[in-house]
């Protein structure tokens, strides 16, 4: 039997983290536009295959890979299913299952994530294709008058329903209630981020309890507690680490095996630096790791430029970021290591 608890532990293995390679077709097009590469089924496949074949990074520092539905069923150029490349590297294949955040009726800011209808049947299909964990992202915006209780309740309830369906299907749910850092307001101080994140996580674990979720068979993917990008205020690495850990200790039961942070718009190095500080400064009941998309891939994408002759350089760039984040999960990242590379 593949126990949910064992999969969750493998996903949060020491010194490793989760690669989010589940960009929707729209998002990956934007990423490809930035390097002047046309987004086609083949170019998307080539790009992701390149990452999954970056042996040094994948085998040593990546414990799981979140895939977009298209990628779960794709084969590499030589005919090998991409899922097999991930397994061969010792990582767990996973799948993004939500259908995106849609505006809530009567709001111009707040969204609720859709995708519950038909999810039970889709999960059976994903399991057969090799996925052993799933991801669902809810988005909570901070403005002068949001989030509303209605938005927090709708999103945390949907996440709990999704998590229950996953566990029923033998799939570990990544529960991702993201408090965005890009609010339009000066209202978005680090204190305000703390307040909202604490509220969202408290509500989330109440909903998970009501839905009968096995906490040992899930992974939490939260935001870090940071000031909003447009707030004009900065916070030290120590303050981000202190407030984030304090918030998690107040809200997340110790039976949850791991917490894999999203990078959420932080720079590559900030995301690494903050994670490393938390692991270095605190003794924690759960494994604190990463589930980064852009923060792991940005350097590789820039090096690749869609050209075959750049594949090795792009793989080195990816493996470097993966290694830096792997060190951060052990509190051992140092700025000098970035310069040395």
Which residues form the domain of 244? 4-340
Domain count, the chain: 1
Burial class (CB in 10 A: 0-12, 13-18, 19+), 115: middle
We report the CATH number of the domain holding residue 277 as 3.20.20.70
Q: Are the beta carbons of 104 and 112 closer than 8 angstroms?
A: yes
Tokens 């900065």 correspond to 234
Tell me which residues are annotated as active site. Answer: 176, 221
Q: Tally the residues of the chain.
A: 341
pLDDT in tens, the chain (341 residues): 589 999 999 999 999 999 999 999 999 999 999 999 999 999 999 999 999 999 999 999 999 999 999 999 999 999 999 999 999 999 999 999 999 999 999 999 999 999 999 999 999 999 999 999 999 999 999 998 999 999 999 999 999 999 999 999 999 999 999 999 987 667 789 999 999 999 999 999 999 999 999 999 999 999 999 999 888 889 999 999 999 999 999 999 999 999 999 998 899 899 999 999 999 999 999 999 999 999 999 999 999 999 999 999 999 999 999 999 999 999 999 999 988 76
Sorted by sequence, the CB contacts under 8 Å of residue 111 that are 6+ apart come out as 101, 102, 103, 104, 139, 141, 151
**Can you give the pTM of this predicted structure?**
0.96
Tokens 């692991």 correspond to 279
Sorted by sequence, the CB contacts under 8 Å of residue 249 that are 6+ apart come out as 285
């Amino acid at each position: 039997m593949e126990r949910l608890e064992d999969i969750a532990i493998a996903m949060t293995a020491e010194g490793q983290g989760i690669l989010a390679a589940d960009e929707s077709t729209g998002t990956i097009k934007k990423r490809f536009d930035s390097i002047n590469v046309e987004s086609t089924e083949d170019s998307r496949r080539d790009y992701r295959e390149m990452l999954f074949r970056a042996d040094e990074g994948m085998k040593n520092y990546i414990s799981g890979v979140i895939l977009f539905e298209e990628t779960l069923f794709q084969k590499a150029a030589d005919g090998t299913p991409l899922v097999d490349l991930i397994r061969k590297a010792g990582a767990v294949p996973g799948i993004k299952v939500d259908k995106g955040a849609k505006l809530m009726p009567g709001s111009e800011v707040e969204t609720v994530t859709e995708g519950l209808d038909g999810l039970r049947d889709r999960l059976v299909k994903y399991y057969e294709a090799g996925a052993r964990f799933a991801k669902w992202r809810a988005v909570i915006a901070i403005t002068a008058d949001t989030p509303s209780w209605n938005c927090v309740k709708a999103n945390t309830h949907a996440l709990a329903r999704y998590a229950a369906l996953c566990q029923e299907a033998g799939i570990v749910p990544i529960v991702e209630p993201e408090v965005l850092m890009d609010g339009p307001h000066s209202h978005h101080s680090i204190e305000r981020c703390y307040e909202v994140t604490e509220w969202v996580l408290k509500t989330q674990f109440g909903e998970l309890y009501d839905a009968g979720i096995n906490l040992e068979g899930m992974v939490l993917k939260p935001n870090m507690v940071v000031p909003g990008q447009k707030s004009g205020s900065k916070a030290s690495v120590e303050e981000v680490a202190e407030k984030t850990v304090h918030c998690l200790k107040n809200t997340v039961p110790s039976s949850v095996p791991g917490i894999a942070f999203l990078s959420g718009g932080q720079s590559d190095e900030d995301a690494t630096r903050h994670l490393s500080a938390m692991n270095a400064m605190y003794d924690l009941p759960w494994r604190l790791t990463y589930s980064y998309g852009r923060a792991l891939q940005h350097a590789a994408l820039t090096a690749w430029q869609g050209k075959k002759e750049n594949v090795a350089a792009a793989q080195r760039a990816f493996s470097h970021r993966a290694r830096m984040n792997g060190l951060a999960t052990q509190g051992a990242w140092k700025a000098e290591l970035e310069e040395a590379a």
